[in-house]
Structure 1
Amino acid sequence: MIKAARSVAEGTPVPPKVVLPAKPLPAKTPAASSKAPAAQVERRTAIGEIVVFLLSPVFIAWASFTTAFSAFGLGVARFMMPNVLVEPPTKFKIGPTNDYAPGTVSTKWQAQFNIWVVNGEVDGAQMIYALSTVCTHLGCTPNWLEGEQKFKCPCHGSGFYKNGVNFEGPAPRPLERVGIRLAEDGMLEVDKSVKFQKELGQWSNPSCFVGVT
C-alpha cells in the first residue's frame, strides 16, 4: 500500500492488479442410495426363505416319502390292471373241413393267427394243413399270390410253392407247418405251439395234417 501510494505520489503508474478467476467447484454426484427398494429386499428375503426350506431336513424327508409312495402306488396299479397287450391263443378252431375247398389257400387267419390254411394234394393224398406265415429267411411275412400260385416274401424275394417248399431267393428251407387236428365237434383245431419242419422229415407226422376225401 505504501509503495503504491509512493508510486502515485512520484507519478509512477501502478500496474493493475491481476485477479485470477475463481476455480469452479467440482460438481456433486448424487449420492447412491444406501438402501435397495423395499420390494427388492422383500423378494430376496422370500427367495432366501424358500432355499432354506428346500434344504431343510423336513422337506427332504417329505420329498423322499412322496417319491417312494408314488412309485409304490404305480407298482400296485400296474399289478392290479390287466395287460393291455393280449397274446393270441396258441390253440384255436378254424371251422369245418368243408370251409376249405380242394386246391385252395385260405388267408382268412393270416392277420389274426399268422397262418395259412391249405387244402392240397401231397403224395397223391388230399389233406388240409396249416403253414406258418413267417419267412424262414429273416422272419418277414410273405404274401400269397393267387395268380402265380406261390408265396412271395416282399423283403428279400424268397419264393415258396403252395405246399410251402422254397424254390427262389435266400430262404434256406421250407415254411413250417403247425399242428392241426380234427376235434371231437368236427372242427379243425390248430395248435401253433407245435412246429413241423420238412427238412427234418416231420411233415409225415399225422399231427400236422388232416386227411380229407
Structure 2
Amino acid sequence: MDSPRKAPDFFDKDALCVPNNNDRFPPIALPAPPPRNLSETDGSAGEAVQPHLLESGAITHDLIVKSIIFDDQTIRKGFVRKVFGILMVQLLFTCAVMAIFVYHGPTKQFVRENFIVIILAMIVNIIVLIVIFCVESVRRKHPVNLICLSIFTFTMSLLLGAASSIMDSNVVLSAVVITTVLVTALCIYAVQTNV
C-alpha cells in the first residue's frame, strides 16, 4: 500500500501577502486556518474536499483563497455596496436620458423622424451584451468592463428614451422612476446596515 501523500500547503501566509498587479486593492493578510483532515466534510460548506481533487488541480489555490476572503463581512458589504451603486448610477442616467426624450420636443421629433438611431442603438446594445457575456477577459478586466457597461447603459437608455417618446411616455418614465427610487433606497440601506 502506498502511503498517503501530504496535501499541499495552500494556506501559506507568505503566498497570501504577495501583491498582484491586476488587483486594485492591497492583499489582506489572513491567518492560517486550523489544520483538518481533507477527506472529512466541512461543516460550513457541507461538501468534502477530496485529496484526489487537490492533486488533480480541480480545486486550485485561487479558489480556496477567494472563498476565504469572500467570507469576510467587510468584503461582502463592499461588494454589495458597489453593485447597488453601479446599478443606481445606471438607472439615474437612464432616467435622465428618458426625461430628455419625453420632455424635449426637438429630441422627440428627431427620434420619430430618424428611426436609424434606434436600430443602430439596438445593434450596438446586442453586440456589447454578447461580448460581455461571452468574453471573460472583457468581463473581468477593470477598465474594459466599465467601458462596456457604460456603452450598454447608454444604448439601453437611448432605446428606452425612444420607446418613451413613441409610446405613452408617462407609463415608461414612471416605471423607470419607481425602479430608480427602489434601487436608491436599497443602496442607502446597503450602505447603512450593520448586518
TM-score (norm 2): 0.25
Structure number with greater CO (CA < 8 Å, separation at least 6) is 2
Give the number of the structure whose residues are more often helix, by fraction. 2
Q: Which has the larger radius of gyration?
A: 1
TM-score (norm 1): 0.24
Give the number of the structure whose residues are more often strand, by fraction. 1
